[in-house]
Structure 1
Amino acid sequence: MGNDDTTLNQLQSEVDDWIQNIGVRYFSELTNLAILMEEVGELSRLMARKYGDQSFKSGESEDNIPNEIGDILFVLTCLANQMGISLQDAIRATIKKNTKRDIDRHKNNPKL
């Protein structure tokens, strides 16, 4: 990616360019969903070892956590591209929804 100020729209364009020029074509949406779940599982495995009760296996490292998050973002971006969804619009809508729903919820939660 070009610089640290890349927008989500630019990210989607860059991933699409990569798919068209290197990846040949998008996998089907269902295949990409399965790949996304696989990548989330890989992140989960590392998180369980770093923050949970499991220990790292020989050759495993918490250093791979950023790579797994990158893999998740890449596949999620592929899915958004395939379905014509703007990640930027989607996250803005989610923040708006969560703000309306949770404006006082967390402030009033004695567990927090």
Structure 2
Amino acid sequence: MTIEETQRLVDEWIHTVGGGYFSELTNMAVLTEEVGELARVISRVYGDQVAKEGDLRKGLAEELADVLWVVVCLANQTGVDLTKAFEASLEKKRNRDKDRFKKERD
């Protein structure tokens, strides 16, 4: 699935099942919540914290997908083409950081 297809499928779901987008501010809060849930899994699986019962009922893949969902919602409702935005970000990193980590690789 391409990023463009992802944006289209999310938009289709939002308009046919979801009842419309939450406001941008609400989606930003939801994104923060989802990132927190992702952090909980990371800190308990890869970090030093010990999971309590129920902490890991949702796994890493599901939490990452939840974060992606909200990012796509924000992009859709603000008119951002994530394919173009990601390509521009990648190009910026290619130019800005092309020698940045060279010493570490040698």
TM score, norm. by length of structure 2? 0.94
Unaligned runs of 5+ in 1: 1-5
Corresponding residue of 2:9: 14
Aligned-partner Cα distance in 1 for 2:40–2:55? 10
Corresponding residue of 2:82: 87
Unaligned runs of 5+ in 2: none
Which of 59, 67, 75 in structure 2 is aligned with 1:64?
59
Shift of 1:64: 1.2
Aligned-partner Cα distance in 2 for 1:26–1:105? 40
Structure-to-structure mapping, 1:21-36, within 5 angstroms: 21-36=16-31
Aligned-partner Cα distance in 2 for 1:24–1:63? 25
Q: Which aligned runs of 4 or more in structure 1 are off by greater than 4 angstroms?
A: none
Contact 2:30/2:70 (CA < 8 Å) preserved in 1? Answer: yes
Per-residue deviation, residues 43-67 of structure 1 (Å, max 9, x unmatched): 0011011111101111332761111
Aligned-partner Cα distance in 2 for 1:50–1:29? 31
Aligned residues: CA RMSD: 1.6
TM score, norm. by length of structure 1? 0.89
Give the count of matched residue pairs: 106
